[in-house]
Structures are given as C-alpha cells and as structure tokens.
Amino acid sequence: MNGTGLSYFDELYAASDDPWLMQQRWYERRKRDLVMASLPRERYQLAFEPGCGNGYLTAALARRCERLLASDFSTDAVRLARSRLGDAGHVTIECQHVPHAWPAGRFDLVVLSEFGFYLDDAELALLQRRSVDALADDGVLLACHWRRPFAERTQDSDAIHEWFSRQPQLTRIAHHEEADFLLDVWSRQPASVAQAEGFA
C-alpha cells in the first residue's frame, strides 16, 4: 500500500475497536443498508469480502451467504471481525494481504468496500483484474467507496468504479451516487432483478 502501511491501521485499532464509528454513525448504518439492498440476489453460495475491517458489513453479508470468506491484512481487524461473527460456522475470516494474496476458486459475489483507494497503482490494477477473474459465470461484483478527500487516499473512487464499467464482460446493474460515496454493482449476467425472476 502506497504510504498506507500496516502501522497506520495498527494505530487506528490501538486507539479504538471501531475507528470509523461503524455502529454509531447513521451514515455508516444507512450505507450498509443500501449496500445490502443493492445486491441483486437474495442468496449467494460463495462470497469474498477483502478488506473486511472489523466486520460490520461482514456480519450483514453473512446473513445472505451460504459461505463467506472475508479477509483483512490487519491482525487487529481480523480479531475483531472474528469476535463479531462469533459462531457463524459458514464464515471464514483470514489475515491476507490482498491483492497479492488471493483465495482460490470462483465466487458468485465479490464485495470491495472502502478498500481500493488505499492501494498504489500496481496493487489497484491487480485487485481489479483478480476481482473480475474470480467471478463465477453468474458472478456479481459490488464496489462502494468514500468520495471525499482524506490524507491516506491514493486513488480516486470514481476512477476505480469507471474501470469496472469499461470491462466488456461486466454489465452495471445498479448505481447509487451521492456526494459522500459511490456504490455500483456489476454482473456477468445482464438480467435485471425482475428479468431474473421472469416477470419483465
């Protein structure tokens, strides 16, 4: 990570178990609800969430997935996420340095939440390629990123999302844009939710 190394996150988690106030802020709770409502299918067989942080979104995703793999490169984040998920046997949370480390297999859901903007150019390009390549034939990719400036940002959130929209194998099926954040969903299958259920 270009200038945003492990020590930065170590310091954040040393100061607080919830450095971004994921539970207290209405902004964060509302954003999680929008993320979950944007997923085009009710259930997913196998999902991957890199950069899971302390696991608030992971807990919401777990309710919609048969199996969920989440990871973070901060051991403190992994510890907190594992504690939050408790006895959820269908959830695995690992300490991984994504995108250099990447799990085997193909996923019908990949979620990139508040993650891509910390990476240098080479890491972002690798993350983008691996995210697309890891999608199953009917796979869904969701990305959600803060848009406002902050000191540790190394990438523009809009540009991260624009790259995915240019990929010919993906169709953007949902888009939500606010001054604060950008939320997009792409799929290898272009059918809308209504088309997938056979009434459009």
- d(CA 99, CA 57) in angstroms, rounded, equals 19
- d(CA 37, CA 184) in angstroms, rounded, equals 12
How many CA within 13 A on the CB side of residue 22? 21
98 belongs to a structural domain: yes
**How many domains does the structure of the chain reveal?**
1
> Which residue has 């992971």 as its token pair?
58
133 belongs to a structural domain: yes
1 belongs to a structural domain: no
- Is residue 172 within 8 A of residue 186, CB to CB? The reply is yes
- What is the b/e burial string over 27-49, where b = at least 16 CB atoms within 10 angstroms of the residue's CB? ebeebbeebeebbbeeebebbbb
Cα three-residue angle 184-101-69, rounded to 5 degrees: 60
CATH number, position 168 = 3.40.50.150
25 belongs to a structural domain: yes
- Tell me the pLDDT of the chain (200 aa) as tens digits: 544 666 778 788 888 888 878 889 999 999 999 999 999 999 999 999 999 999 999 999 999 999 999 999 999 999 999 999 998 999 999 999 999 999 999 999 999 999 999 999 999 999 999 999 999 999 999 999 999 999 999 999 999 999 999 999 999 999 999 999 999 999 999 999 999 999 99
Of 168, 157, 154, 102, the residue nearest 131 (C-alpha): 102
60 belongs to a structural domain: yes
**What is the per-residue pLDDT across 65-110, written as a single tens digit (0 to 9) for each?**
999 999 999 999 999 999 999 989 999 999 999 999 999 999 999 9
189 belongs to a structural domain: yes
| Domain residue limits at 29 | 6-196
